[in-house]
Amino acid sequence: LIGKNVKIGKNTIIGSNTIIENNVKIGKNCIFGSNIVLKNSIIGDGVVLQDNCKVGQKGFGFIPFKNKNIKFPHIGKVIIGDLVEIASGCTIDRGSVDNTVIGKNTYLDNQVHIAHNVSIGKNCIITAQVGFAGSSKLGNKVLIGGQAGISGHIKIGNNVNIGGGSGVIKNIPDNTRVMGYPAKELKKFLKENKDN
């Protein structure tokens, strides 16, 4: 199903039972699997979306009041750069005020969740079940192992490696390797856990 004002580039393939809602822009030479829901998005060239991805839905955000929680409005988009590959079952929220951005040539493994306003740089590799809280920012060439969690409103530099299962709760500078919860420099983590 394709909504109004959708633009799809040449040689793009779209699988069965996929829904592309109004005003979405898709580049050329893309491959989309089955059962995808795509809205509020601008997609570059050569992007691969595997089955069951949900891209561009409202993110999680509430303003708590005494007797009621009011849903925070989301008016941003999802912008996916050229040559990005997103594996099965990923969810990528639209931005609340800013956009959610995934940079060129980045790869997301299965079941990755990206919350609103997250910005991921170029040439990143993010493995299965990693979760990003809102407004976190990643540089280029960031590698993240499976089931790591990235807290909101933090900055991760360029050329950072984050071990699987780590919990990142503070900023990480460029060219750093971290692991553990809370995530700490890899050498320190290994020293503290050498007898375990």
The residues annotated with a catalytic role in the active site are 116
How many C-beta neighbours within 10 Å does residue 49 have? 28
Long-range contact list for 173-181, CB < 8 A, 24+ apart? 174/139
Length of the chain: 196
The C-alpha atoms of residue 16 and residue 23 are separated, in whole angstroms, by 20
HSE-up of residue 55 (Cα within 13 Å, Cβ side): 37
The C-alpha atoms of residue 195 and residue 14 are separated, in whole angstroms, by 51
Q: CB of 104 within 8 A of CB of 84? A: yes
